[in-house]
Structure 1
Amino acid sequence: MPFRGAHYAIAVFLVVTIAAFWPSYFSILDTAPRAHHIHGVTATLWVLLLIWQSWSIRQPNFALHKWGGRMSFLLAPPFVAGGLLVTKMTVIKDSPFTEMFAVSLSFADFVSVAVFVLFYFLALRNRHSVEHHSRYMLATIFPLIPPSVARIFTGYVPGVAIRAPEDLPNFEVALNISFVVAALFTIALIISDWRRKKPLAPFLMALGALVLMIGVYHSYGNTAHWEQTVLAYARFSDAVLILAGLVIGVAAGFLGWHFPRKPAGPAPASVAA
């Protein structure tokens, strides 16, 4: 990972995420729908994997780090499938939240899945460059920051918390705040890398994805054309979406591994994947 204490920071993020999704998922595991299980379990395991990878490379224990890299090939495909499934479920669920936010929010969900696939592919492709590889791997969880932060606000912060249907407009307030928080965090990492003359592309791309997600949420996401597109997507069966997610995840791993980018100079090879 690009920072020595990255595994501690990711662990804190995991705790925040569990707290954020405690009311809607972790506290109701016995009744949660299948889509939430696939997405919740794989997302949690992915964050744990990043903690493991950051910790193992700092020991250094290359054998454990390589093992974690191999585990990513098993985790990435169902993670993608879970993202596609939970997006569909959000759109078709019969609730006031769906009526108010699901269509416009679904674009951000699609971008989250696409960004994860892209960054995972680039992390594998750049595995011979420790600086690039570690940053792309860390960036795979950046799309998870806004939904976690937003739910912390709607679940626990007075004045923004949602306690009744009439409080639902607070979600958009929390969502905007969450993207500002995520963007400021990403900008801080970019500035840090710029000062240390480290690669800027990974976190610049992550920042671009965040801007795209919230920008389209407030614009194209509210159009009739996008609504028709999302409703057409929601008509795909769960089996088709699971298969598509698995294929996309496998393809990202396969292409990233078999078409590596060779380092520009005589830098030592990374054993990160």
Structure 2
Amino acid sequence: MPYRYAHYFVGFVLAVTVAGFWASYFVPTAPMPLAFHVHAITAMTWLAFLIVQSVAIHRRKNAFHKTLGQASFVLFPLLMLGFVAIINLSSARYVAAESDFIMILGPAFGIGMVIALAAYLVLFYNALKNRRNVRLHAGYMLATPLILFESPFSRVIDQFLPWLNVIGSEGPRAVLDTIVVSDVLVACFALALYFRDRKHGTPWLVAIGFVLLQAVVMWFAPDMAFLGPMFDAYGQIPGNLTMAAGAFAGVVVTYLGWTAGSRPKEKVAVSPA
């Protein structure tokens, strides 16, 4: 089976997630918004799901792998709902002009999560569509953790590895520097995986495209004056409606991907009269 050490890779992502959010989420000094809990629980459950799936298939537990895979039909829409919950929270803070930091970086965080959501929809659709091609299916599923790696690792850079911020911007934009560095490192890792198996390397190219798009758009977001009014207008939409839309998008993509990957029906030969 391909990617026999994938569970270690995903486990590393999970460890970085805990390290990056330890101070701000796991040991908070103030109550956390519900959106953080929804996103954290669904995102970490997704990582745990990938770890178990990888271990199961490499131990030849094919039936368990298939059964657990069907649980993703519920988990994935919830994951998308969690993404939208964070977008909504960023938007609400921007509309409320909560701080100068949010007024500068709020739209960047929002558009970054929109790109991440789009990436997950594309990757999961293709994972289901190509589920009969083991290498492509595994690649698309394992590419999903790469999309959000910038979020915890940028915090790890800021807290423990400041020397990795080679861009060196001043003020709030320094946060975007660490995101760019994280995304570039992810792109390099994905590129190495692509060259390892170019025949089945499309998932890694897709991931590279999304993380580099995310890096560029987020870094330049503070200079895009139109994003502020768009973010403000988005904030006027009821949160329940946008979260329902996110979950619905997850359901639709799951259905379309599963349908696209179904075996074509055999044509019944009709004997001439």
TM-score (structure 2 length as normaliser): 0.87
SS in 1 for 2:27: helix
CA distance in 2 between counterparts of 1:232 and 1:117 reads: 24
1:144 aligns with 2:145: no
- Where does structure 2 lack aligned partners over 5 or more consecutive residues? 265-273
CA distance in 1 between counterparts of 2:67 and 2:26 reads: 28
CA distance in 2 between counterparts of 1:2 and 1:144 reads: 23
Following superposition, which runs of at least 4 residues in structure 1 exceed 2 angstroms of deviation? Answer: 155-161, 166-170, 217-222
Alignment check: 8 A CA contact 2:77 2:249 kept: yes
Matches within 5 A, 1:32-47: 32-47=32-47
**What's the C-alpha RMSD, in Å, of the aligned pairs?**
2.2
Larger RCO (CA under 8 A, 6+ residues apart): 1
1:212 shift after superposition: 1.1
What does residue 223 of structure 1 align with? 224
Change in 2 beyond 3 A, CA 1:29/1:252: farther
User: Over residues 5-35 of structure 1, what are the superposed CA-to-partner deviations in whole Å (9 max), with x where a residue is unaligned?
Assistant: 0001111110111111112212239821111
Alignment check: 8 A CA contact 1:107 1:221 kept: no
What does residue 213 of structure 1 align with? 214
Matches within 5 A, 1:160-175: 168-175=172-179
| Paired positions, count | 256
CA distance in 2 between counterparts of 1:29 and 1:2 reads: 43
CA distance in 1 between counterparts of 2:244 and 2:147 reads: 22
CA distance in 2 between counterparts of 1:158 and 1:124 reads: 39
Change in 2 beyond 3 A, CA 1:168/1:229: closer
SS in 2 for 1:23: helix
* Percent identity (aligned): 31
SS in 1 for 2:237: coil
Which of 158, 177, 180 aligns to 1:176? It is: 180
1:129 aligns with 2:133: yes
What does residue 250 of structure 1 align with? 251
What does residue 199 of structure 1 align with? 200
TM-score (structure 1 length as normaliser): 0.87
User: Over residues 172-213 of structure 1, what are the superposed CA-to-partner deviations in whole Å (9 max), with x where a residue is unaligned?
Assistant: 22122112211111111111123xxx3121111110111111
Matches within 5 A, 1:1-273: 2-28=2-28, 31-93=31-93, 94-158=98-162, 168-194=172-198, 198-219=199-220, 222-260=223-261
1:33 alignment partner AA: P
CA distance in 1 between counterparts of 2:208 and 2:8 reads: 22
CA distance in 1 between counterparts of 2:237 and 2:29 reads: 25
Alignment check: 8 A CA contact 2:91 2:110 kept: yes
